[in-house]
Amino acid sequence: MKPCLANFRFYEELNDFLDPQDHGRTIRYRFGGEPAIKDPIEALGVPHSEVDLVLVNGESVGFDRRLKNGDRVAVYPVFESLDISPLQHLRARPLRETRFVVDVNLGKLARRLRMVGFDTVYDNSLGDNEVVEISMRDRRIILTRDRRLLFRKAVTHGFWVRSDDPDTQLQEVIRRCDLSGQLQPLRRCLDCNGIIVSVQPEQVWSSLEPLTRRYYSDFFRCSRCHKVYWEGSHVTHMNDVIRQMTEV
C-alpha cells in the first residue's frame, strides 16, 4: 500500500510538546490506512487533553474524523478569551467549579493554589492512577509535570505545567485557566485544603500563646484540621506575596 501524506501545523503553546525543529512549522506526516485524527496528533507528541480545536482543510472536526491523503490539519490549544462557540470544541465543556488535583511533583504549587483560594487535592503518596481516578470522580483539573499522564484516554481536563519555579507555575495556571477573577486569598488551609472560618476567641483560647492572646482579637480556624490562624503582620506580607505571584 502506498503511504499517505498529510500536513500538520500546531499553534501557540502546543509547540511545547513538539521536537524543537518542528516548532512553528508544517509537519509532513506519513501514515497508512485512515486513522482517527486523534491518533497522529498524539503520535506527534501532543496530548488530546491540551487540544480544543482541530481544522482539517479549513473545517472544524472531531477527534474521530478519519485522516485522508493530502489533508491539511491545523491544531489549536484551549481558547480562554477567544469565542469559538460556532466551531466544534474537542474538550469537555468547562467545569462548573474550578478544582484541581496535583501530582506528586507539584506540592509547592498545590500550597500556592490553596493560598489563593482554589480547592486543590495533593498528597505525595498519590500515584498516577489515583490522580486520574480523583479527577474523574470529583471533576478536577489535573496539573502535572509528567506529560505522559495527559495521554490517558480518561483524562478530559488537564494541563502540563511547563516551569520548574512554583511562583511561575501559579502564574501559568492562572493564565491558562483564566482564573484572575476567581482568586479568594487566604480562604483555604495551606496544610489540608480545608475552608478557614471565623471563630470567637474563647473557642481557640487554650491553643494560643500568651502574646498572641494579648495582641490579637480576630481568629480563624480550619474547618478540617482545626489549625488556628490570626491576622498578624504576616497577613500583610502574605497578601503582598500573593499579588506578586498572581501578576500575569
Binning pLDDT at 50, 70 and 90, where does residue 180 land? Answer: confident
**pLDDT at site 91:** 59
CA–CA separation, 167 and 115 (whole Å) = 12
Section 136-157 average pLDDT: 93
Binning pLDDT at 50, 70 and 90, where does residue 248 land? Answer: low
Give the tens place of pLDDT for each residue, 13-24. Answer: 999 999 999 999
DSSP per-residue letters across the chain:
-PPEEEEEEE-GGGGGGS-GGGTTS-EEEEESS--BTHHHHHHTT--GGGEEEEEETTEE--TTPBP-TT-EEEEEE--SSS--TTS---SPPPPSS-EEEE-TT-HHHHHHHHHTT-EEE--TT--HHHHHHHHHHHT-EEEES-GGGGGSTT--SEEE---SSHHHHHHHHHHHTT-TTS--TT-B-TTT-PBEEEE-HHHHGGGS-HHHHHH---EEEETTT--EEE--HHHHHHHHHHHHHT--
**pLDDT at site 80:** 47
**pLDDT at site 118:** 96
**pLDDT at site 81:** 44
Section 101-106 average pLDDT: 96
Which position has the higher pLDDT, 143 or 211? Answer: 143
Give the tens place of pLDDT for each residue, 64-91. Answer: 999 999 999 999 987 644 444 555 556 5
pLDDT surpassing 80 at residue 232: no
**pLDDT at site 82:** 42
**pLDDT at site 97:** 79
Give the tens place of pLDDT for each residue, 106-132. Answer: 999 999 999 999 999 999 999 999 999
pLDDT surpassing 50 at residue 26: yes
What percentage of the chain has pLDDT greater than the value 70? 90
**pLDDT at site 238:** 72
CA–CA separation, 121 and 142 (whole Å) = 10
pLDDT surpassing 60 at residue 146: yes
Handedness of CA 174, 177, 182, 186 (dihedral sign): negative
pLDDT surpassing 70 at residue 190: yes
Give the chain's mean pLDDT: 88
Binning pLDDT at 50, 70 and 90, where does residue 202 land? Answer: confident
- In the chain, domain spans: 4-77, 93-192+232-248
CA–CA separation, 168 and 176 (whole Å) = 12
Question: pTM (2 decimals)?
Answer: 0.78
Binning pLDDT at 50, 70 and 90, where does residue 213 land? Answer: confident
Domain 4-77, second-level architecture? Roll (3.10)
Which position has the higher pLDDT, 2 or 48? Answer: 48
Q: How far is CA 108 from CA 21, 122, 128, 226, in A?
A: 33, 10, 18, 21
